[in-house]
Structure 1
Amino acid sequence: MGDPGEPPEGVPEGGSGSEDEYRSVVFDESFVRAARITELSAEERLGGAPQAVRHKLGGRMFGTLPRQALTLLLLIVLAFGAAVYFGVTAPQRDAGGAGGAQLTAELTVLTPASGGVPAADPSSPFASLAAATGFADGSAGLGLPAARTATAHFSQAQVSAAVDTVSRYLTASELAPAVLVQGQTAAVRALLAPDEQGQFDQSLTAPVDDQHHSATGWMVRFDPMKIGLATDTVKVAGSVKVAELDPGTLEVTTDHTLVYALRPAGAATNGPVSLYTVRRELRFDLGITDIANGQVHVVDSAQQAGPSACGAAQAEYLQPLPVGPVGPAVGPPPAVNPADHAQPAWQSCAVMTAPSG
């Protein structure tokens, strides 16, 4: 180690070394620059400065660091701060979901044309259905596409998975007796994407006909205290279509007519049976994440349902009219055939005609 009295950069050239009697009191420029404090100028002292010396900027650690190291440290701190800032403020996006979807639902009530609600044969309740309408039992009538081809941005496997998920939703929401007349809803909720489950829950806890929070917009359901099934079989006719809405979303549209055989809750097996018809048009959006998770976004629900009274509240449960005579229809609503898929389903109240070919 050097002598403590030596300047930081060594003995200046030309110095007299240890023989120089002023060696301990003479300092070169490098020694002065390395000092932690510096004496005030005469002008500063005359100005009334409270101290005779000032400390140079920079603590012990930073004062001894090379300028390149300080610059590098500053750059690291700035980069880290920028990363934190942009990480917090950048908008969050769902890379694979259909995000932002919200169900919009509309129900057209179909009232009897005249006379009242006819009784069906308890032993063969669907005998009156016209064969030309192509009804089948349950999921066999869903009309799923046989050829599930790939789209521009979705593989054949993804398209097939999306159709299968929609099929499960349809089965749970319009064919399962537990949902239809037993008040259960968990199977339907489980097939919804997480960002729609809150809207679904609100539709159950506080159903209202506001086009967004009706329980009957999500599923076909009847009040278990009033309605029972005469048979678990549901007659179904319709179709399912698939299209690519955008590079990240598949759109699946379904259009079905469903016929239920109903009787009053708790009625004997020989009690009166009536047919209740629902035409249900649904639009589903499925992103990559939805397809992988086996869930859907239900975007639109348009339904025609009857026979019901036009003024009946049907946000919580569909309200079939019982077998027997009914009063005249309110106003002059147009006649509607719920099996005629050439006509739009989005209406308000209409007179029901029997499903026909």
Structure 2
Amino acid sequence: MGDPREPPEGTPDGGSGNEDEYRSVVFDESFVRAARIQELSASERLGGYSRGVRPRLGFGHLGSLPRQAVALLLLVVMAFAAAVYFGVSSPRRMGVQPTGNQLTVSMVALSPNSTVSPVPDPRNPFATLPAGYADGAAGLGTPAGAATAHFTRVEVTRALDTVQRFLVASSLDPATLVQGETAAVRALVTPGEQAQYDQSLNSPSDDQHHAATGWLIRFDPGNVALAADSVKVAGGMKVAEADSGTLDIDTDHTFVYALRPAGTDSAAPVSLFSVRRELRFEFDHTDIGAARVRLVDAALQAGPMACGVPLADHLQPLLAGQSAGAPPAVSPADHRVPAWQVCGVLGPLGAGH
């Protein structure tokens, strides 16, 4: 009995009748899908195509992949691109913080209740200060760095050093105080705040955000001169974490300046002017590495000054022999005056030290 796999007429001449010899030339579905040409459909042939076939869009090796695999690959690529975009554009990445009104400033003028007295000895203007004040950076009380939960000892030490450099540049350097120098302070400000810094110096405004005197201490050189290059300082710094990625450093110092009228010689009467400056700085790891500060709060109490004088551009001290008069009455119903413009009575410098 014949092989049931053979045709009734028998095997053709020269053939074995076994389809194995043709198996190597049979095109499976994946091969057909990968072909670079494709026969036109009936509607396309009736539409007047001049060729009987059309080229298939080639995507290299992707052209042979199943549609589900291609779709999955595209989703993976899109997810990766989104992750990269949001990572790069995150405002906390690379130390670039959101621009805008980040620093908030409050200032209190301290008015004397009598005529400003000159110091007894102009050659030693700080002789009457109580104990607790030191010269310049020695009075800043910068603590030794210690590791926190998320910042190393080296990082904390570096942040404290950056804050000290900022305080020296913005509160102690004569070039900043009376010579109009602003670049040294700007160089220590994180790039995300430099636009606000520039606006504050170029167009000072008492709007709680754009006062030049919120960033640095300065006097109008047309009115005031330093009687001594040294500045007496008392105060300290505190370190804490705002969150796992933010280091806070709070500073609270009183700076005492010896001043005389501009254009006078060493024989002119000298008086003392004090500024309490309370600042809050924030750092992330990138800020620390770049040795830049992000100043977020500044509170100043300064005197002797007259109540109601503009303070956004320069501090305006009352000098020896000058008086302020009685502080003006403040009506809580007068909305023409900003509520943050406050005046107090100047007390003795020894209090609290």
TM, length-normalised to structure 1: 0.77
C-alpha distance in structure 2 between counterparts of 1:327 and 1:187, whole Å: 34
Partner of 1:117: helix, strand, or coil? coil
Contact 1:37 1:53 in 2 (8 A): no
CA–CA separation in structure 1 for the residues paired with 2:40 and 2:59: 18
Q: Which amino acid aligns with 1:354?
A: P
Change (3 A) 1:68 1:60: closer
- Distance, in Å, in 1 between the alignment partners of 2:57 and 2:198 is 63
Shift of 1:206: 0.4
Superposition deviation, residue 62 in structure 1:
7.5
What corresponds to 1:94 in structure 2?
Answer: 92
Q: Please name the residue that 2:108 is paired with.
A: 108
Any conservation in 2 of the 1:215–1:317 contact (CA below 8 Å)?
yes
Q: What is the Cα deviation at residue 70 of structure 1?
A: 7.2
Cα separation, 2, equivalents of 1:325 and 1:39: 100
Match of 1:350 among 341, 344, 347: 344
CA–CA distance in structure 1, aligned partners of residues 49 and 266 of structure 2 = 109
In structure 2, give the amino acid aligned to 1:110: L
User: What runs of 5+ residues in structure 1 fail to find an aligned partner?
Assistant: 1-12, 19-28, 334-345
- CA distance, structure 2, for counterparts of residue 139 and residue 328 of structure 1: 35
Say if 1:284 and 1:298, in contact at 8 Å, map to a contact too: yes
Judge conservation of contact 1:108–1:303 (CA < 8 Å) in 2.
yes
Counterpart residue type for residue 166 of structure 1: V
C-alpha deviation, 1:326, in angstroms: 2.0
In the other structure, the counterpart of 2:18 is none
* C-alpha distance 190-53 of structure 1, shift in aligned 2 (>3 A): closer
The counterpart of 1:287, out of the listed 284, 299, 303, is 284
* Corresponding residue of 1:141: 139
From 217, 220, 224, the counterpart of 2:217: 220
1:98–1:285 CA contact under 8 A, matched in 2: no
Matching residue of 2:272: 275
Q: How does 1:274-353 map to 2 (within 5 A)?
A: 274-331=271-328, 348-353=342-347
**Alignment partner for residue 171 of structure 2, among 146, 171, 174?**
174
2:124 maps to a residue whose letter is S
CA distance in 2, matches of 1:274, 1:95: 48
Unpaired runs of at least 5, structure 2? 1-9, 16-25, 331-339
Describe how 1:168-247 pairs up with structure 2 within 5 A.
Answer: 168-247=165-244
Provide closer, same or farther for how the CA distance between residues 16 and 175 of structure 1 changes in structure 2, counting only shifts above 3 A. Answer: same
Q: Distance in 2 between matches of 1:237 and 1:305?
A: 15
Q: Say whether the 8 Å CA contact 2:305–2:324 is kept in structure 1.
A: no
Q: Distance in 2 between matches of 1:314 and 1:223?
A: 11
Q: Using a 3 Å threshold, how does the CA distance of structure 1 residues 38 and 165 change in structure 2: closer, same or farther?
A: closer
TM-score by length of 2: 0.78
- Compute the RMSD of aligned alpha carbons: 3.5
Distance 1:330 1:53 in 2: 97
Question: Residues 83, 312 of structure 1: CA spacing in aligned structure 2 closer, same or farther, 3 A cutoff?
Answer: same
The secondary structure found in structure 2 opposite 1:323 is coil
SS in 2 for 1:201: helix
Shift in Å, 1:253: 0.6
> In structure 2, how many angstroms separate the alpha carbons of the residues matched to 1:293 and 1:163?
13
State percent identity of aligned pairs.
47
Taking a change above 3 Å as real, the CA distance of residues 57 and 65 of structure 1, as seen in their structure-2 partners, is farther
Say how many residue pairs are matched: 314
For 1:127, the aligned partner's letter is: A
